Structure 1
Amino acid sequence: MSNSSSISHFLLLPLADTRQLQLLHFCLFLAALLGHGLIISSLDCGHHLHSPMFFFLLNVALSDLGSILTTVPKAMHNSLWDTRDISYAGCAAQVFLLLFFPSEVSLLTIMCYDRYVSICKPLHYGTLLGSRACAHMAAAAWASAFLNALLHMANTFSLPLCHGNALGQFCEIPHILKLSCSHSHYLWDVCLIVVDACLGFGCFVFIVFS
């Protein structure tokens, strides 16, 4: 019986079997990079767009770009060079970054709060959503995402693995849990869900009362 300490790499499924589909995925990847790059450049260079709403939109674009760069380049490399391997450390990093970058929930909550203040409290908008407050809110969203990703990644890769090393197209927690020979991860999952809820609630309270 093997465990996680004896696994040096995982096997990923290819994105596509034919060269035409692989090239199509590569073109779509480049288009996504170009689109997000244009959004980020426009928001950064356009001085008339330097408002709280567009500041948080910039953070959302960065989060989406990070998610794309976390998974697609490795999948495209494996498809184009006809390989399937990803190292154990690389898989752990991919799991962490997949959980870290999709922090849209917190960011969209902040953007909703921004619209609420602009509509219901327009006279206090500059005070409640100044540059320092916006920076603190964005930092709280990214910090909660970092802690959430760290906890889930540490829990997942602390489990013994004894059902091979074949995963899906990306390193995702559900696929890794299927390889585990321990059933204790269900209890840890419940605990982490509670922690996630507490982090989300804490971030929301910080946003409202900051």
Structure 2
Amino acid sequence: MNDDGKINATLEGYFVLLGFSNWPHLEVILFVVILMFYLMTLIGNLFIIILSYVDAHLHTPMYFFLSNLSFLDLCYTASSIPQLLINLWGPEKKISYNGCMTQLYFVLALGSTECVLLVVMSYDRYAAVCRPLHYTVLMHPRFCHLLAVASWASGFTNSALHSFLTFWVPLCGHRQVDHFLCEVPALLRLSCIDTHANKLTLMITSSIFVLIPLILILSSYGAIARAVLRMQSTAGLQKVFGTCGAHLMVVSLFFIPVMCIYLQPPSGNSQDQGKFIALFYTVVTPSLNPLIYTLRNKDVRGAVRRLMG
């Protein structure tokens, strides 16, 4: 029966993403709002990537990692938002079976990568503030590239594990996914067998990729806070608060919604709440990152002035 169910679900060739169909009056409003945020994401993150590349003054570890974060956000939104906009615009809310599995893999891979990358960025800020005399040695370009590769590799490896486990779960012919994107918990709910092992694996790896990075980030900023309190220079304090405050805001906007989704016990209303929480970190957070990092940032303003001649 399980094999037949798996075959039937595959032969059907598509899933139906229910998304926000319970609130049809909201769909047009959501389409307009999400499209605006998506355009902001594209423009803002492309701006950071191009500016960091063309301006030699921004060829530093901080802007190297920020460019990685911007590229990651571009990929993350491209893997989910276009399909969401198509489903919101028309009555058809289908996604192909292969398209759903591909989306599942990339959404989880890029989300996991961002968790690790934010840790790397916090270490860079720790080295800059707490070890300024050794900063160029600690954050050598080759080491920075190694940290970036490790972030991407760990995220894609984690996703490969869950995508593989989810792919082999028999779906028993069900095609309606109660979400606006293909994600592991939503697809596991379609199975007619016990998925306790899958859920346990997801909980363990979510703890590794969410709680451990969060602890490391908070530890870095605890050390930074102690170093800042010993500073005598007002200008130095302002610069530290500017760069570190921006990073902490990005961390909060990303980790708080993710913890609400992946680390809370299931409840009766959690699915509808989960959709709007997921919508926030899928649509809103990637569009705010460029604004948070560039507003009141003297380095970026100087680079823009040089670019404009």
The TM-score, its normalising length taken from structure 2, stands at 0.59
Shift of 1:35: 1.9
Query: Is residue 124 of structure 1 aligned with residue 134 of structure 2?
Result: yes
Secondary structure of the residue aligned to 1:28 is helix
Query: What's the counterpart of residue 139 of structure 1?
Result: 149
Query: Is residue 108 of structure 1 aligned with residue 110 of structure 2?
Result: no
Aligned positions of 1:46-61 closer than 5 A: 46-61=55-70
Query: What's the counterpart of residue 75 of structure 1?
Result: 84
Q: Provide Cα deviations, 1:26-50, integer angstroms capped at 9, x if missing partner.
A: 2332222222222222222222111
Give unmatched runs, 5+ long, in structure 2: 217-309
Give unmatched runs, 5+ long, in structure 1: 205-210
Match for 1:5 among 4, 7, 28?
7
Shift of 1:9: 0.9
Aligned positions of 1:152-171 closer than 5 A: 152-162=162-172, 164-167=174-177, 168-171=179-182
**CA RMSD of superposed structures (Å):** 2.5
- Residues of 2 paired with 1:121 and 1:36: CA distance? 29
Secondary structure of the residue aligned to 2:107 is helix
Q: Is the 8 A contact 1:163 1:178 kept in 2?
A: no
Q: Is the 8 A contact 2:108 2:183 kept in 1?
A: no
Q: How many residues are aligned here?
A: 202
- Residues of 2 paired with 1:23 and 1:117: CA distance? 42
Shift of 1:91: 0.3
Query: What's the counterpart of residue 34 of structure 2?
Result: 25
Which has more helix, going by share of residues? 2
Shift of 1:62: 1.4
- Residues of 2 paired with 1:64 and 1:133: CA distance? 23
The TM-score, its normalising length taken from structure 1, stands at 0.85
Match for 1:84 among 81, 90, 93?
93
Question: Rg larger in 1 or in 2?
Answer: 2
Tell me the amino acid that sits aligned with residue 180 of structure 1.
S
Q: Is the 8 A contact 1:75 1:169 kept in 2?
A: yes
- Residues of 2 paired with 1:199 and 1:79: CA distance? 31
Q: Provide Cα deviations, 1:122-142, integer angstroms capped at 9, x if missing partner.
A: 222111211100000000010
Shift of 1:82: 3.0
- Residues of 1 paired with 2:56 and 2:205: CA distance? 39
- Residues of 1 paired with 2:20 and 2:132: CA distance? 49
The sequence identity of aligned pairs, in percent, is 33
Tell me the amino acid that sits aligned with residue 185 of structure 2.
P
